[in-house]
Structure 1
């Protein structure tokens, strides 16, 4: 199974009246999200299911990802992932099955490739735990892990998840 941990694209801080949860993407974010989606598609990493924070910037990032892929990926937005810790992110992954159903076009089967879209510091901390060393994700940065598990309910760690690739927008042509 494959896990993609990704940080949302760059957000806009121009409107001080907006809450953190309501901040949209800025121009760079709107440019980088489709580019990283193209890399995901071109490298055979398109997910079967996308779990995302419910903030405006993650919703917009998810929309840009889905707009670039050959077909939209079933997506669920959860407040559990908004500014989540690594521990909360892993708990949400372990409960992936609760998001799956035959309603709203969501898959009934376990996704083979799961993309989790979130925020720092939690998303970088979760990747650091799987990498077994510290890493930091810039906006729209991601890591793809090959996980030797049979279900998303399994505990994830460096013993059963190996990084396949890390990508940042600045690395893209």
Structure 2
């Protein structure tokens, strides 16, 4: 399997088969900027689930590297992956945490195989988290395409 790059909207992946929209979240429970705004415009489920997950974090797995798979429609899920420490640079370091993204993608890979789902995403970790795609792409190959999962990465039209 390979990664397919396309121009379009990652919140509306084509097809009718099982699909997962994956994105990176922060570990402080903030939801309100970047790709999540486009997700929230499509429906309330991902945001509501993320906020409840954060609110109840004392009794669940909410932490860097965790994955929350949220059903939104028949054969469509959103994967909230915690791969960002905070929401701002601290000590000159960007919020992105590659090890956490790697762990979350590993969990996502297991779920995608179980569901027989393709994975769709923007360039995760490279927006507000300030990550580098050259460091993210190898993680996708290791955790997803190497397991036979189709991955589509979306860039917005210029």
The answer to whether the superposition gives a TM-score over 0.5 is no
TM-score, reference length from structure 1:
0.36
Q: Tell me the TM-score normalised to structure 2 length.
A: 0.38
In proportion to residue count, which structure has more strand? 2
